[in-house]
Structure 1
Amino acid sequence: MNRVRFLAAVVPSLLVAALAGAVAAAPAAADPLPKPPQPVPHCFGSDGTDLNELYDVTLRIVGPPACREIYAKEKWVRTAPGWTTAAGAGVAVYPEGYVPSRPDPIDDFDSKFVSATFVLDIGTPQEKRRTFKKKEILRTGFFDADGHPFSAVVSPPFKAPDLGPHTQTVFFTLKAEHCDGLGTVTEDNCLPGGTFDYTGDVPVTVIPRPDR
């Protein structure tokens, strides 16, 4: 076959094949990027302390009055008010007859703390209880603005209950009575041995997650 006629016949076919390959190789349109998660609002104590930073918690914290709403299907962490004691054995004062098991009051508390029980919707058919041992939940080594040491309970994550109002109650269990070394009134300065209600029934509301 004449070379010119051969090329004239072949080149168009090669061009069509090349264009077809280019179309096939063209990348598909990229899927839209997922929306980044909304930042969790931090929880602040009554003295302005950022509890998320203090306890190194990235999830929503429930506890103080300003921190009692949860989004539907959201994971959250429960904190209880910290237990504060006198700075040390040298300045501690106690009710008459009380003898601590450890010289420093904060060590006395930590040594007697056994567990905490978290109760959702106490006294209702929907009641749920979970108990965690000291090593799972007790945080210590903190100091308040006056230099008093304190320990605090921070729960593992919980799943949000159903939409609507709920209550959440924290019980402590101690091996024996503990007094904080800050005063001599048993009712104000001491915790009993055994299991007792530490927080009362805290109201918690689960609300729909807002659209973004």
Structure 2
Amino acid sequence: MKPNRMRAVVVSVVLATLSAAAGAGTAAQAREKEPARAAARAAVPPADHNCLSPDGTNLNAFLGVSERIIGPPDCREAFVGEQWVRTFPSWGTAVNGARARYPRGYTPARFNPMDDFVSKFLGIRVVNDIGTAQERSHTFGPETIRRIAPFDRDLFAFFGSAPLSSLSAGAHTTTVFMRLSAEHCDGLGRRPLENCLPAGEFAYTGDTPVTFFPRSR
């Protein structure tokens, strides 16, 4: 499987918070119109639950997930009544601390960069329909890391939430916030904005669209 390396998702927690607050009204108004547009779509989810990555990897098998996966571009539709698992881009690090490169002033808590990330990873918060009256938040812990595997000389952590309850018919959004106990840098470079994640909670993804369809009789 070719990982999706997450880079520079947050310039700073403060800027992200201010930006979200400023755009909340406009975004909420736009989302209120989405269900009607989504209802007119002809596409429906495949009958089976297998989510395929762009390179053809069966993500359900790769992550050990039996429920429908929501997250990748080709896996953002489900049937009403189905449980679903939220996945999101993997996080990659240098394999070995001996060759790791860090920004000036950063000292890892563990010798190997992936061990450093795992030691600081507290979990995630999945927020559905953020900024609307239907907003709901779900918190998950370190078990969200489903698998750690090498690829192309780096090491990647792959994520998946515990099963979530079905959403109502129509268009929704789902947003992932990550929580770290301390700043983490990946050992792949010396640029903080590209190679580091901040301490605390921060937005790890944007508002990912997802559509739930009623089952045909």
TM-score category, normalised to shorter length: 0.7 to 0.9
**Secondary structure of 2:81 counterpart:** coil
1:192 equivalent in structure 2: 198
Q: 1:160 aligns with which of 156, 159, 166?
A: 166
Q: Distance in 2 between matches of 1:117 and 1:85?
A: 22
Provide TM-score, normalisation by structure 2. Answer: 0.75
- Report the RMSD for the aligned CA atoms in angstroms: 1.5
Q: In 1, are the aligned partners of 2:63 and 2:147 still within 8 Å (CA)?
A: no
The reply to whether residue 141 of structure 1 matches residue 179 of structure 2 is: no
Q: Distance in 1 between matches of 2:86 and 2:56?
A: 18
- Map residues 9-24 of structure 1 onto 2, 5 A cutoff: none
Following superposition, the deviation at residue 39 of structure 1 comes to 5.6
1:201 maps to a residue whose letter is D
Q: Distance in 1 between matches of 2:54 and 2:107?
A: 32
Q: Distance in 2 between matches of 1:127 and 1:60?
A: 21
**Secondary structure of 1:85 counterpart:** strand
The reply to whether residue 95 of structure 1 matches residue 103 of structure 2 is: yes
Q: Which runs of 4+ in 1 moved over 4 A?
A: none
Q: Deviations over 1:34-76 (max 9, x none)?
A: xxxx962311223432211111111110011110001111111
The answer for unaligned runs of 5 or more in structure 1 is 1-37
Q: In 2, are the aligned partners of 1:92 and 1:181 still within 8 Å (CA)?
A: yes
The reply to whether residue 110 of structure 1 matches residue 110 of structure 2 is: no
The reply to whether residue 176 of structure 1 matches residue 168 of structure 2 is: no
Q: In 2, are the aligned partners of 1:40 and 1:58 still within 8 Å (CA)?
A: no
Relative to 1, partners in 2 of residues 1:98 and 1:48: Cα closer, same or farther, differing over 3 Å?
farther
Q: In 1, are the aligned partners of 2:90 and 2:158 still within 8 Å (CA)?
A: yes
Q: Deviations over 1:7-30 (max 9, x none)?
A: xxxxxxxxxxxxxxxxxxxxxxxx
The answer for unaligned runs of 5 or more in structure 2 is 1-45
Q: In 1, are the aligned partners of 2:49 and 2:66 still within 8 Å (CA)?
A: no
Relative to 1, partners in 2 of residues 1:200 and 1:54: Cα closer, same or farther, differing over 3 Å?
same
Provide TM-score, normalisation by structure 1. Answer: 0.77
Q: 2:88 aligns with which of 80, 93, 96?
A: 80
Q: Deviations over 1:157-205 (max 9, x none)?
A: 1121111110000111101110111111111111000000001110000
2:67 equivalent in structure 1: 59
The reply to whether residue 208 of structure 1 matches residue 214 of structure 2 is: yes
Following superposition, the deviation at residue 91 of structure 1 comes to 1.8
Percent identity, please. 48
1:187 maps to a residue whose letter is L
